[in-house]
Structure 1
């Protein structure tokens, strides 16, 4: 049994992860989010602790990390992702936390080739500086064993179908389901030796193109 701290627990992928952990493991979960009433359905679940907090509030974040946490999973998003990455990494270092799963996105490593890469750069240009600064912060935090996730454009399709690309490989495909990304997260939580100190791309096979097919 592990104790998992989920930051940004109201996120769509995070909610899939929560349900799978409850159904498939005996793990204890600490759910950290703003406006915690949004997850009030878990209020009476004896495997869940809910904390109302913003990751910018390092004092509250540190208190959450001092609850015998085994692994931290950040599902925090936003255009300026680095502004969340820094307090998360700082709080982990100050509390001795060592294992982090960090949800980022494609393009964080300048790794998306071709016409799709150019389209992606133009489409999410406002978010890319934050993704890339987050990557630099993660690499500098050498005391923390981080797996950075770089999923393709996300869908809500009811499927688990994906492949992984390494940090030094060109990104493949254009899309991937949230259920697929959640499956990767579940596997890492179950076996934290997977993808240690790594940044992995996640995409659905055979979805190459100039942009996601549904756009």
Structure 2
């Protein structure tokens, strides 16, 4: 039976992934987050282990990863690069290879036009962390897939297209359910998209900024 660990498990997309996997698979889950009480709804589920911890505590993280088949990172913040260093080191210590990592549009200066200019300003404090994290992961020996979503919304829809690292980013927005769908495809087929950084967006959402802003 497959077992995965979700880092930053209280995140909105991570919770969609968790619920989908519990409902539609037999995969076992380790949910790693700062305050485990936030996910108390899973505490009596025999397929779930709640782990309260800090991603920056590399030793603790490595211990949590010991018996899993795949690591899915949903962490974020202005210190993302430091968190990424810890994740890579922990995976090395735990002899883990397969990583699914949520990054961001703009990680490669790949967003064109006025939307690209707007995005650079809108998430200016976060982009250095995404960019350094991308380089750290690419320079590692991990079997990674990075996911670069457009601006996320909570629409009840699965509707997305993909771009690759060397292609201009498309669109301005995407639903969290769409991102979760792509993550679950990777979890169920871990041999696909290895070594890729994949942009995700809803088709036909091009513009100067997301429609709701």
TM-score bucket of the superposed structures, by smaller chain: over 0.9
Q: What SS class does the counterpart of residue 30 from structure 2 fall into? A: strand
Q: Give ranges in structure 1 of 5+ residues lacking alignment.
A: none
Answer yes or no: is the 8 Å Cα contact 1:4–1:28 preserved in 2.
Answer: yes
| Partner residue in 1 for 2:54 | 54
Give the number of aligned pairs: 213
| Partner residue in 2 for 1:195 | 193
2:130 is the counterpart of 1:131: yes
Residues in 1 aligned to 2:16 and 2:38: alpha-carbon distance in whole angstroms: 15
Residues in 2 aligned to 1:177 and 1:78: alpha-carbon distance in whole angstroms: 20
Map residues 43-192 of structure 1 onto 2, 5 A cutoff.
43-66=43-66, 68-141=67-140, 143-192=141-190
Alpha-carbon shift at residue 139 of structure 1 (Å): 1.0
Q: What SS class does the counterpart of residue 18 from structure 1 fall into? A: helix
Residues in 2 aligned to 1:146 and 1:197: alpha-carbon distance in whole angstroms: 5
Alpha-carbon shift at residue 122 of structure 1 (Å): 1.1
Backbone CA RMSD of aligned residues: 0.7
Residues in 1 aligned to 2:111 and 2:82: alpha-carbon distance in whole angstroms: 24
Alpha-carbon shift at residue 80 of structure 1 (Å): 2.4
Answer yes or no: is the 8 Å Cα contact 1:58–1:87 preserved in 2.
Answer: yes
Q: Give ranges in structure 2 of 5+ residues lacking alignment.
A: none
Answer yes or no: is the 8 Å Cα contact 1:154–1:177 preserved in 2.
Answer: yes
| Partner residue in 2 for 1:27 | 27
Residues in 1 aligned to 2:48 and 2:157: alpha-carbon distance in whole angstroms: 27
Residues in 1 aligned to 2:89 and 2:58: alpha-carbon distance in whole angstroms: 8
| Partner residue in 1 for 2:202 | 204
Residues in 1 aligned to 2:75 and 2:123: alpha-carbon distance in whole angstroms: 17
Answer yes or no: is the 8 Å Cα contact 1:80–1:131 preserved in 2.
Answer: no
